């Protein structure tokens, strides 16, 4: 089987049957090409020894634990696919243990820092109006940066104060937001967005300076720039605002199942990380304030 054809077919499988995000597909194909480089391009050479040797080389090269975990998962997915297609007589991935990445608690803003990040600049320029609206919406809803970039104007329901989000696996959910986010969105849509619109702008809610749909890199730069202005704020990107929103909801009394639905987590186990964050923050406050801590 030709290597390029194998990789192309596997990519098609990941996109159409597994419904993985473009980012995950790119990462998996990079991993598969690395694995095939190790075998000299021969799919039929894949066995448990080759897989372990390849992963050991990745470890020796200093790859992060998270990267090793993903590459292990990729190898298992790839060999299972090749076995089903008849390109491998047996599936060596079944003998490969899972390299679990240690779960670390995410960095989050405290509520004072969140207020500082969202302090609106006194300007009516389109960039500042857009940046303020996207920051408010990220924190208010906890959406992923890819979900934010994909929003269209019609995805915002101003009557009910909700947005329609298409999340992982193309699963749609409805997420509420509050008054500050609505006011910021209105200012952007009335006074900012029209000034950046071009002939081919389309329905995108958030635009770049040339009138096209905003990209994830721009959103990350906006978040980093605002965080740099806040004393003591951790160095994090848009996902940090998602972590902060979830943590603050739980600290405010929201139940775990509601937060799971808001974030679009398939498993409640994923959401439970935020309960640990809240407990750690409570312990830190206790140690600092209690006379017998």
Among residues 63, 127, 239, 281, the one annotated as catalytic is 239
Is 23 catalytic? The answer is no
- On the CB side of 109, CA atoms within 13 Å amount to 28
Where b means 16+ CB within 10 Å and e means fewer, 104-119 reads eebebbbeebbebbbe
Measured CA distances, 276 to 76, 196, 260 (Å):
31, 43, 15
Is 287 catalytic? The answer is no
SS3 sequence of 141-173? HCCCHHHHHCCEHHHEECCCCEEEEECHHHCEE
- On the CB side of 281, CA atoms within 13 Å amount to 18
Is 286 catalytic? The answer is no
Among residues 71, 242, 243, 248, the one annotated as catalytic is 242
Residue 287 burial (CB count, 10 A) = 9
Measured CA distances, 138 to 89, 131, 142, 176, 245 (Å):
48, 11, 5, 12, 8
Is 18 catalytic? The answer is no
Beta strands (DSSP E) in 167-249 are: 172-176
Is 171 catalytic? The answer is no
> In which element (H, E) is residue 186 found?
helix 179-187
Measured CA distances, 45 to 36, 56, 57 (Å):
9, 17, 17
DSSP-based three-state secondary structure for 108: coil
Give the β-pairing of 156-157 and 162-166: antiparallel
| Cα–Cα dist 125/129, whole Å | 6
Is 265 catalytic? The answer is yes
DSSP 38-65: HTTT-GGG--HHHHHHHHHHHHHTT--H
Among residues 52, 127, 164, 168, the one annotated as catalytic is 168
Q: Provide the annotated active-site residues.
A: 144, 168, 239, 242, 265, 274
């Amino acid at each position: 089987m030709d290597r390029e054809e194998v990789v192309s077919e596997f990519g098609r499988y990941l996109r159409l049957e597994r419904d993985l995000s473009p980012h995950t597909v790119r990462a998996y194909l990079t991993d598969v090409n690395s694995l095939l480089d190790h075998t000299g391009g021969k799919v039929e050479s894949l066995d448990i020894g080759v897989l372990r040797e390849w992963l050991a080389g990745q470890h020796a090269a200093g790859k992060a634990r998270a990267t090793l975990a993903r590459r292990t998962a990729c190898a298992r997915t790839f060999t299972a696919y090749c076995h089903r297609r008849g390109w491998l007589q047996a599936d060596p991935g079944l003998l490969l243990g899972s390299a679990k990445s240690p779960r670390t608690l995410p960095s989050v803003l405290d509520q004072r820092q969140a207020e500082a990040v969202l302090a609106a600049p006194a300007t009516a320029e389109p960039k500042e109006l857009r940046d303020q609206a996207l920051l408010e919406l990220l924190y208010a809803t906890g959406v992923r940066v890819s979900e934010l970039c994909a929003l269209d104007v019609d995805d915002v329901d101003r009557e009910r104060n909700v947005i329609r989000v298409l999340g992982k696996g193309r699963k749609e959910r409805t997420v509420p937001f509050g008054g500050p986010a609505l006011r910021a969105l209105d200012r952007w849509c009335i006074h900012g967005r029209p000034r950046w619109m071009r002939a081919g702008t389309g329905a995108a809610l958030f635009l770049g300076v040339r009138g096209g749909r905003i990209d994830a890199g721009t959103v990350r730069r906006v978040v980093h720039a605002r965080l740099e202005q806040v004393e003591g704020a951790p160095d994090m990107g848009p996902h940090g605002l998602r972590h902060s929103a979830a943590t603050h909801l739980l600290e405010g009394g929201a139940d775990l199942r509601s937060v799971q639905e808001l974030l679009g987590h398939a498993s409640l186990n994923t959401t439970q990380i935020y309960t640990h964050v809240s407990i750690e923050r409570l312990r830190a406050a206790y140690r600092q304030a209690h006379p017998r801590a």
